[in-house]
Amino acid sequence: GENVEQHPSTLSVQEGDSAVIKCTYSDSASNYFPWYKQELGKGPQLIIDIRSNVGEKKDQRIAVTLNKTAKHFSLHITETQPEDSAVYFCAASRTGGGADGLTFGKGTHLIIQP
């Protein structure tokens, strides 16, 4: 089955700096890669996703890159703000959709230092 590794487990950055979270996956058939943000005591929320037919996707301060050959994908947050503090999860799916097909990484606790 699919295995998703996520690094780092904790990331502390100064407000205004950039943050990068990296994930690798094992199943070359995976074709859908979402990123979720989970605030304390709440459920995860989808913030951005990418499919295997594109290499990069951007939405304001958030971008995701995908390297199919190396089987890794990354989340980039620029100009970080205090409200970016949360746990971020990457996931991979070979079905292209459906939460039952998602394999999640273990999460990255992002801390934005004022």
Partner 1 sequence: DGGITQSPKYLFRKEGQNVTLSCEQNLNHDAMYWYRQDPGQGLRLIYYSQIVNDFQKGDIAEGYSVSREKKESFPLTVTSAQKNPTAFYLCASSKNRGSTEAFFGQGTRLTVV
54: which 2 tokens?
């594109």
Does residue 73 interact with partner 1 by CB under 8 A? no
User: Which positions from 29 to 68 touch partner 1 by CB under 8 A, shown as an x/- string?
Assistant: ---x-x-x----xxxxxx--x-------------------
* Amino acid identity at 47: I
CA distances from 112 to 17, 42, 79, 84 (A): 9, 19, 11, 7
Smallest distance, partner 1 to C-beta of residue 64, A: 14
What is the total count of residues that contact partner 1 (CB under 8 A)? 27
